[in-house]
């Protein structure tokens, strides 16, 4: 049976749905290998994103930005991460002004 995988969020679908019920993206047919590759990218960028949040909450802005930049390399279209980096950079600037 041909599996379908969401190109946006990586969710797998065994049925014949044409759209992802997680995020609404159009689904594509994908071989097993690319499904696994997608999942690995998602989990490893998710770890770095969460790591960045931990650093950010501790006030370690440089470490947070570094972790989020790794995510951005894997997911250049991730707007949420891009905005987090910009926010952290602005806060860093505010701190150095004083
Ligand atoms: Zn999706």
Residue 25 has pLDDT above 80, yes or no: yes
Per the rule left: phi > 0, alpha: psi between -120 and 50, beta: everything else, 15 is: beta
Measured between alpha carbons, how far is 5 from 11 in angstroms, rounded to an integer? 6
The continuous run of DSSP H or E covering 38 comes out as helix 32-57
Residue 19 has pLDDT above 70, yes or no: yes
Per domain, the residue ranges of the chain are 1-30, 42-97
pLDDT: which is higher, 42 or 25: 25
The alpha carbon of 17 and the centre of ligand 1 are apart by a number of angstroms equal to 12
Residue spans of beta strands (DSSP E) within the chain: 4-5, 12-13, 28-29
The SS3 call for residue 30 is coil
CATH of domain 42-97: 1.25.40.10
The alpha carbon of 39 and the centre of ligand 1 are apart by a number of angstroms equal to 12
What pTM was computed for the model? 0.57
């Amino acid at each position: 049976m041909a599996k379908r995988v969401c190109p946006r969020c990586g969710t797998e679908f065994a049925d014949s749905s044409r759209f992802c019920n997680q995020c609404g993206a159009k689904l594509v047919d994908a071989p097993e290998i690319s499904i696994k590759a997608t999942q690995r990218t998602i989990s490893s960028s998710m770890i770095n994103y969460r790591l960045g949040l931990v650093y950010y909450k501790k006030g370690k802005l440089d470490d947070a930005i570094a972790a989020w930049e790794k995510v951005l390399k894997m997911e250049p279209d991730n707007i949420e991460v891009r905005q987090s980096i910009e926010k952290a950079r602005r806060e860093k600037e505010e701190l150095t002004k004083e």
